[in-house]
Structure 1
C-alpha cells in the first residue's frame, strides 16, 4: 500500500515553492550590484571595458593589481574612518543612554517639550547645518582635526539615539527597578547594573546605525579635513584618479569600495544576533 500525500500537503507545496523563488529573486536583486563590484575589483582593465560585458571572467582576466595600487596609505584611511566612527558612536551611546533613561523613567518638567525638540532635530536635514558648522570650526580652529568630525557626528546621531533607547527603556518591567531601589541602588547604579545589561541588543543596534552613518558620511569629511593622511574612506575613494583626466579607474575604485565596505560587513556579522534581537525586541508582548 503506497502513501499518498494529503490534500493539505499538496496545497501547501506551491505557495512554499513560490515563497522560496521570491526569496531567491530578492537575494539576487540585492546582491547583484555587490557581486558586480567585487568582480570588477578583480578584473583586468581590458575585461572591465570589454563590450559585451564580461560577467564571468576567466582566470587570465583576473588580477590583484587594483588592490595593490591602493598602497599602504589606504590602511591609514581605514584607521581614520574607524577612529572617528568608533569614537563618535561611543560618545553618542554614553551621552544618549542616560538621557534616554531620564526621559523614559524620571518625571522632569517640560518632558513633552524636550521630546518634541529632539524629534524635530532628528528630522532636520543635517546638510543644512553645513555652513554654520564650517564657520564654527574655522572660528575655534578645529580644521584638520578629528574632533571636527567626531563632534558633529555625535550631535547629529544623538537625537535618534535618545529616541530609540527611550522606547526600549519604556518596555522594561518597572518592577526590576523597584527591586533595585529596595536593595539600595540609586538611579545611576540602577542604570549601569540593571537597565543597560538588559538592553544590550538595543545599544548594539543603535551603535551600528550610528557607526554606519559616521563611516559613510562624505560632505563634512570632505570639507573639514584637507590633510592627505587624515582623510576618511569616502573622501579617499572619491579622490582616486586615473592616468589622465579622461580615464575613469574603475578597477581601483571598485577595490577601494570593497576594502571600505568590508569592515562594516564584519561588524554586522559579529553582532548579527544582537542586531536581530534589538530590532525584534518589543514586537511581541507577553
Structure 2
C-alpha cells in the first residue's frame, strides 16, 4: 500500500498565484496610493492614524495641479518629444534591424554585442558629453535637444526587439515582393514591417515610455520654463517650505493616465511582442 503524497501549500499552482499576487501588488499599489492621496486634503493627509480611503474625496488638488503650474504645457512638451523620438527611433531601428537580420554582414555577432554593450552605460556618465554636444550645436532649450538623445538611448533595445521579429519572417515573402517590383526598402516597409507589427508596437511603446518618463536630460538640457517636460514640471510644485503632496499626486495621476491608456489600447500587441520576442530571441 503506497503512502499518500503530501502536497506542499508552497508548490504548484498555489505558489504561482502567490507570486503573481506579489507582482501585481508591487506594481499597482504605488499607483493606487498616489490616486488615493490625490483625493485627500492636506489636513487628512497628516492625520494619525493614517486613513487609507479618503473620508471626504475632493478634486481640488486636480484644479490646483492645472492652475499652480502650466501642467497642460508640460504635457504638450512631453507628448511632442516622446512622439517625435519614438517615430525617429522606429524608422532608424527598423533599418538597422533589417540590415542585421537580412544582409550578409561580416562580424554580425560583434555588431549585436556592440549594440547590447552601448545600452549598458549609465545615463549620468553620458550627461556631460550630451550637454556639450547639444550646446555646440545650439540646440539647448529645443525639442531636438531631447529628441536626439532619447532616440540614441532607445535605439539598442528597439533594434534588438525588431531583429528577433525580422529573423522570423520567411525570406520568400520579401523575394516575392521584390519580384513584383518592390525595391528592398519597399519590401521592408510594405511587407516586413506589417508582418512584424507586434514587435514594432513593442519597440514603440518602450521608446515612448522611456522618453515620457526621463528626467535627468530633460532637467539639464531644457532650462527654459516653456520647454519643460512633465517629469521636470512636477518638481516645481514644491517650494522651500511647502511640499504639497496631494497636488503633486494629482499631477502624477495626470502623468500616468496617457501611458495607461496607451498600454490598454495596445495591450494585446505589446504582450504578443514581448512573449514572441522572448521566444524567438
Query: TM-score scaled to structure 2, two decimals?
Result: 0.89
**Aligned match of 2:217 in 217, 220, 232?**
220
**Aligned match of 1:39 in 32, 36, 39?**
36
Task: Tell me, yes or no, if the aligned pair for 2:199 and 2:277 is still in contact at 8 Å.
Answer: no
Instruction: Give ranges in structure 2 of 5+ residues lacking alignment.
Output: 1-10
Task: Tell me, yes or no, if the aligned pair for 1:171 and 1:282 is still in contact at 8 Å.
Answer: no
Residues of 2 paired with 1:19 and 1:106: CA distance? 43
Q: In the alignment, does 2:259 pair up with 1:264?
A: yes
Task: List structure 1 runs of 4+ shifted beyond 6 angstroms.
Answer: none
Q: Which has the larger radius of gyration?
A: 1
**How many residues are paired up?**
272
Q: In the alignment, does 2:169 pair up with 1:172?
A: yes
Task: Tell me, yes or no, if the aligned pair for 2:161 and 2:277 is still in contact at 8 Å.
Answer: no
Superposition RMSD in Å:
2.4
Residues of 1 paired with 2:137 and 2:16: CA distance? 58
Name the SS for the 2:66 alignment partner.
coil
Task: Tell me, yes or no, if the aligned pair for 1:85 and 1:211 is still in contact at 8 Å.
Answer: yes
Any residues of structure 2 matched to 1:119-198 within 5 Å, and which?
Answer: 119-198=116-195
Q: How much does 1:101 deviate?
A: 0.3
Name the SS for the 2:105 alignment partner.
coil
Deviations 1:180-233 (A, max 9, x none): 233333211211111011011100001101111101111110011111121111
Q: 1:26 to 1:167 in 2, by over 3 A?
A: closer
Deviations 1:45-73 (A, max 9, x none): 11111111011222xx2211111112251
Residue matched to 2:99? 102
Query: TM-score scaled to structure 1, two decimals?
Result: 0.87
Instruction: Give ranges in structure 1 of 5+ residues lacking alignment.
Output: 1-13
Q: 1:230 to 1:113 in 2, by over 3 A?
A: same
Q: 1:284 to 1:30 in 2, by over 3 A?
A: closer
